[in-house]
């Protein structure tokens, strides 16, 4: 009986584990300001400058560690001049990055304050907003995961951001999501409305807070979706497992640098399952990630139409070299 089940339903294999957060995708109305904040101020590396594959007239900017790793990758769709949104029920409202120590929080408190950015210090945590109001946290973390660090001339590597710690969303009824998170996606309950999802190499945290009274408004400074990381081999089985749970996932979509499946979880947050490969170095020299506009092969024939309508962006690394 056991064997028969295993043969017919490989997607029920309980040994599959998601490898924490793959990327978090957000919306900006101001690509130049966005590049300045995430690279010059926060010290991430712009690892891919491309376009939204569902709307190739707008940028899709990817910031991460030096290697462009999943687990450190915050990305933005740019809708130039987009009005500011606000997070509400069914939306991620804050994104936390790991740092190594309270000393690192001292560094960031001073650096961000010096840039005119308001911060709130708590034990083990520094809260701030990006220039468009996106909630960010720097959290002291002692997990053994490999630190995912980008190089920056003003930010010593021992205080630099080390990849995602987790994301938090708003939900009036987190219990609605519990079965999906625990029984389908393999998240481990951490008490209350908090979970950890951990694979062989990395983990990440996910939690819900009670929503504000006002409804959410998508727009600049809001999170569009959070992607959880899957190995290449298990990705299609994850898609079948989510479908089997009645969540109506998309088919596997080839995003060229990774493959994606999207579905909305019961609290309303848009989830993606994304593969840990092929990765951003597939079409660019790792030394020069993010320096020029990269179009996936299926979009290359549109380059002459796309390039003139995109907001010109300063390459932050070129500025440091000067």
Nearer to Zn ion by Cβ, of 76 and 107: the residue is 76
Q: How far is the CB of 1 from Zn ion (least distance, A)?
A: 39
Nearer to Zn ion by Cβ, of 26 and 87: the residue is 26
Nearer to Zn ion by Cβ, of 36 and 272: the residue is 272
Nearer to Zn ion by Cβ, of 25 and 267: the residue is 25
Q: How far is the CB of 260 from Zn ion (least distance, A)?
A: 6
Q: How far is the CB of 72 from Zn ion (least distance, A)?
A: 14
Nearer to Zn ion by Cβ, of 25 and 50: the residue is 25
Q: How far is the CB of 10 from Zn ion (least distance, A)?
A: 25
| CA–CA dist 186, 310 (Å, integer) | 40
Q: How far is the CB of 275 from Zn ion (least distance, A)?
A: 11
**Sequence-distant (≥ 6) Cβ neighbours of residue 71 within 8 angstroms:** 19, 20, 21, 22, 145, 148, 163, 164, 202, 204, 229
* Contacts of 150-156 spanning 24+ positions with Cβ under 8 A: 150/43, 150/44, 150/45, 150/64, 150/65, 150/66, 150/72, 151/45, 151/66, 152/39, 152/43, 153/320, 154/43, 154/111, 155/43, 155/107, 155/111, 156/107
Positions that interact with Zn ion (CB under 5 A): 25, 227, 272
Name residue 262's beta-bridge partners: 272
Query: 45-52 and 55-64: which strand pairing?
Result: antiparallel
């Amino acid at each position: 009986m056991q064997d028969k089940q295993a043969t017919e339903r490989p997607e029920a294999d309980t040994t599959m584990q998601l490898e924490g957060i793959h990327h978090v995708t957000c919306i900006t109305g101001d690509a130049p300001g966005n590049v300045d904040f995430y690279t010059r101020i926060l010290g991430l590396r712009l690892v891919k400058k491309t376009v939204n594959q569902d709307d190739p007239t707008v940028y899709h900017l990817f910031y991460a560690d030096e290697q462009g790793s999943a687990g450190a990758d915050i990305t933005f769709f740019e809708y130039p001049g987009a009005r500011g949104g606000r997070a509400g029920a069914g939306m991620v409202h804050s994104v936390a990055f790991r740092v190594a120590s309270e000393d690192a929080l001292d560094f960031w408190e001073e650096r961000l304050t010096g840039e005119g950015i308001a911060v709130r210090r708590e034990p083990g945590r520094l809260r701030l907003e990006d220039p468009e109001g996106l909630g960010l946290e720097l959290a002291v973390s002692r997990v053994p995961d490999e630190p995912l660090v980008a190089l920056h001339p003003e930010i010593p590597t021992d205080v630099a951001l080390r990849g995602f710690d987790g994301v938090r969303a708003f939900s009036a009824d987190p219990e609605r999501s519990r079965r999906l998170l625990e029984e389908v996606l393999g998240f481990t309950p951490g008490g209350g409305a908090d979970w950890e999802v951990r694979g062989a190499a990395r983990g990440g945290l996910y939690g819900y807070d009670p929503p504000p009274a006002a409804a959410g408004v998508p727009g600049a400074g809001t999170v569009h979706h959070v992607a959880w990381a899957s190995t290449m081999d298990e990705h299609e089985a994850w898609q079948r497992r989510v479908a089997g749970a009645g969540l109506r996932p998309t088919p596997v979509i080839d995003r060229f640098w990774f493959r994606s499946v999207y579905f909305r979880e019961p609290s309303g947050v848009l989830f993606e399952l994304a593969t840990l490969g092929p990765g951003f170095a597939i079409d660019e020299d790792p030394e020069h990630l993010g320096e020029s506009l990269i179009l996936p092969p299926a979009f290359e024939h549109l380059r002459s139409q796309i390039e003139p309508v995109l907001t010109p962006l300063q390459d932050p690394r070129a500025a440091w070299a000067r």
